[in-house]
Chain A
């Protein structure tokens, strides 16, 4: 039990930020029309590719001779960037279609 309190105490600021961001997320996305459900999902999906930053950090911090870490990091970077680039590009393609309709 003490350990849990210790954990909370040491990371209080982080916890505040987490809670606030959750509320921002909900507020920002609430009341979205059904037409945009798919673009929102694929756009958000692209955004989750932000793990790429972590993947790059893994590689940057690895020992140049640690081939296991570098190899896993390499895979993580490739997968992450596919998620980012593909996600944003396909969302853009979709939204272009929507725009054409309006004219």
Chain B
């Protein structure tokens, strides 16, 4: 009984903590409240257990917990803020794997209760596909898999496997088989599906995929909660599932794509056609500028808007850009950052990146608020962003990103784009902004280019 009361308390802290996490002033408190609820749930499970448990098992659990705490803590303290998307995927994969393992063990323990069977099978399927999917997402974000691999007809293959998984899972439940062999086949298929699902997804779609995988781990946790009739797992899992799905839909909205479109990957196909089409159309000339040209231009501006993208994170240039901002501000030039909802590789990526360098809160302006400001802006400085400023989203119906809301930087008086070379961005789409009369390209590594600008501006 006391166990259930403690679970109830933990459940309330989850709801309350998550609620507080939703407001900037209370977010930190919310996180700590949820964490203490989690500690309570874990300790309560260990202490108020009804079974007779041998010392050996307790020792093993103790070792497992200590090992996990140390690993988790060390990773969390050491990780660089630029590596946040990778870390979230990695941890998320672990949660999924945990759920799948529980499912595998419980399969051999459970009799012929249909509901339990359904939960076990779903935990195995969702847990393992989340695990392998998250690992692939992690590898991709880590730069270990630069190319998006697309098997021929990958769409069809993926969807067949997806349906196959459901049918096979249903068959296992219905047939009441006790063969663990069948479960391993199911598990492997789900693992393969997770890999195939994430492999073809482009970098620009990463925020959607990461939030979706996050939601799936929550659902897997909730399902295992149903299996044990354990309320704290169920509520915790569903809260995560809801949070993940809300974020997923917010990200889809940021790209004007439907979730179905992302999952079943129509993007890949239109993209290839679109890229070919627009590549042929875009053969204009572009201007390139030197660091001192740009420094002079900025020096005589009244308002500069910086558009950061994933490239800024890759070049680790967040501190440099903040220094540039401060120098400009000291010269009396207004500086703002325009933040696109899907800039970077996870929801809110740019906010975290810039927060690390102590950029002031109110300098980060969201898309809808910043767009009307571009006509009054002297210089827009695009650093490592590409698709979120691509005008094809407005005026090229054949483009895969057509209809996606973008930052209307072409309304500004001057546009400076920092890129390494003229190669198209991660999504492989040409950008006509680069050929705009008002645009100058500033080639080079973001960090060294910005540092060059800082040196020049200091001397003026």
**B356 contacts A51, C-beta separation under 8 Å:** no
A6 and B47 alpha carbons, distance in the complex (Å)? 36
Write out the residue numbers on chain B whose beta carbons fall within 8 Å of the beta carbon of A43.
17-18, 21, 30-31, 34
Complex CA gap A54/B360 in Å reads 42
B105 at the interface (CB under 8 A from A): yes
CA distance A42 to B54 in the complex (A): 36
- B91 adjacent to A83 (CB under 8 Å): yes
B246 and A48 contacting across the interface, CB-CB below 8 Å: no
Q: Kindly identify which residue among A38, A60, A74, A80 contacts B51, using a CB–CB cutoff of 8 Å.
A: A60
Is B167 on the interface with A (CB-CB < 8 A)? no
Given A54-B99, A60-B57, A84-B38, answer yes or no on A45-B214 (Cβ-Cβ < 8 Å): yes
Contact A60 B246 (CB under 8 A): no
Q: Which bucket holds chain B's interface residue count?
A: 35 or more
Interface assignment of B1: CB less than 8 Å from any CB of chain A: no
Chain B residues with CB under 8 A of A56:
42, 45-46, 61
Q: Are A49's CB and B355's CB within 8 A?
A: no
Interface pair B228/A54, CB less than 8 Å apart: yes
> CB distance A64 to B57 under 8 Å?
yes
- Beta-carbon contacts of B85-98 to A below 8 Å, as 1s and 0s? 00110011011011
Q: Chain B: interface secondary structure?
A: helix
Whether the Cβ atoms of B21 and A53 lie closer than 8 Å is no
B23 cross-chain contacts in A, Cβ below 8 A: 36
Shortest Cβ distance from B49 into A: residue: A60
Mind listing 18 A-B residue pairs with CB under 8 Å? A21-B238, A24-B15, A25-B241, A33-B24, A35-B348, A39-B21, A40-B22, A41-B211, A41-B346, A47-B240, A49-B95, A50-B233, A54-B102, A64-B54, A81-B69, A83-B92, A90-B91, A102-B361
B residues adjacent to A (C-beta < 8 A): 14-15, 17-19, 21-24, 27-28, 30-32, 34-35, 38, 41-42, 45-46, 49, 51, 53-54, 56-57, 60-61, 63-65, 67-69, 71-73, 75-77, 79, 81, 84, 87-88, 91-92, 94-95, 97-99, 101-102, 104-106, 108-109, 114-115, 210-211, 214, 217-218, 220-221, 224-244, 246-247, 250, 339, 341, 346-349, 351-352, 355-356, 358-361, 364, 366
Residues of A at the B interface (CB closer than 8 Å) are 3, 7, 10-11, 14, 17-18, 21-22, 24-26, 28-62, 64, 68-70, 72-102
